[in-house]
Copies of this chain bind each other. A is one copy, B any other.
Amino acid sequence: MGINLSVNFLGKKLTTPVILASGVSGYSDELIPFLDPNSVGAITTKTITLQPREGNPPPRIIEVPGGIINSIGLANMGVAAFIKEKLASLLKLPMKKIVSIGGAKEEEFPLLARMLSEFRGIDFLELNLSCPNLKKQKLFAQEPETCLKIIKNTKRVSPFPLIAKLSPQVTDIKEVALACEEGGADALNLINSLPVLCYYAAGKKLRGGLSGPPLKPLSLRLIEETRKVTSLPLIGTGGIYAGKDIIDYFLAGANCVSLGSVLLLEPSAPARIAKELKEILASSGYDSLSCFSSSTGL
């Protein structure tokens, strides 16, 4: 099929609008054997922190009716080990690369950006302002002022465009989005998983983030609201399992999308999803995604 799935994202061309979300692609090495690289526009690393993080005690992931709850707790090797052990092979991949960074404190975001700044093969940095699995009282993404500050300070030292990843657990996403824009964010990613709680065995609690199908209608609504107040590119994330889900995200105002939980179930999903997307376009008589330019403002 002569159908072109490529999209322009912050001045770069993604082969498809499908990004692999942070936390479900590891540092990319373990997922690569399952991937058709042509089906993926960009890959996002697990969120990297300044210090290595052990993560939360198990259990860390469980299926509940209709969703998945994870409480990984940002387990990662820390930025130094990441640079030493993983970055070189990541940078050899054909798709665009997004490095997700997470600070325990506000000041750590610019530090992380600075440490990564010399590796120009990185295409974008994503600021994880919204991890639900930390001990903090509030997420950064729940405090517009804090988002603004973090982004502003990171922007100063980052040679890479910045994507701010937001949380659904806010009263007004528009406020947060506007603060990020004011701080200098180049794009927004909506949404991270939703903070929740379950009991997985007699009285045993798991606090974590909900992901999977129910996030889609939530994310669509937040994207629609956000689209009304900003023309920043938006990455739509949450509950994408099929090509048709991506169409809905475009209709709501997203410019590209990212796949999370589906990769846990089906690590080879991107190829299927890209194929479905092509079929949908073909059957509607389109040969590229530019038919959505009106809704996305591209």
Contacts and interface: CB of A to CB of B under 8 A. Distances in A.
Contact of A214 (B66, B207, B241): B66
Interface stretch (A24-32, A145-153, A196-204): A196-204
Contacts of A203: 251
A126 to B, nearest CB: 22
A64 interface: yes
Contacts of A171: 138, 142, 169-171
Given A171-B142, A210-B214, A251-B203, A220 B198 contact: yes
A216 B206 CA distance: 13
B142 A213 contact: no
Given A138-B172, A210-B214, A199 B69 contact: no
Contacts of A125: none
A55 interface: no
A224 B212 contact: no
A196 B218 contact: yes
Contact of A217 (B142, B196, B241): B196
A194 to B, nearest CB: 6
Contact of A67 (B194, B213, B221): B213
A262 to B, nearest CB: 12
Copies in the assembly, this chain: 2
Contact of A65 (B169, B220, B221, B239): B239
Contacts of A216: 64-65, 198
Q: How large is the interface on A (under 10, 10 to 19, 20 to 34, 35 or more residues)?
A: 35 or more
A214 B207 CA distance: 14
A260 interface: no
A42 B172 CA distance: 34
A66 B65 CA distance: 8
A226 to B, nearest CB: 12
A252 interface: yes
Contacts of A194: 218
Contacts of A195: 221
B67 A199 contact: no
Nearest to A167: B171
A198 B66 contact: no
Contact of A142 (B138, B142, B172, B198): B172
Given A64-B217, A196-B218, 5 more contacts: A66-B213, A138-B172, A197-B224, A207-B221, A210-B214
Q: Which 3 interchain pairs have the tightest Cβ spacing?
A: A66-B66, A214-B214, A196-B217
13 contacts: A64-B213, A64-B217, A66-B213, A67-B214, A69-B217, A138-B172, A197-B220, A198-B217, A198-B248, A203-B251, A207-B221, A210-B214, A213-B214
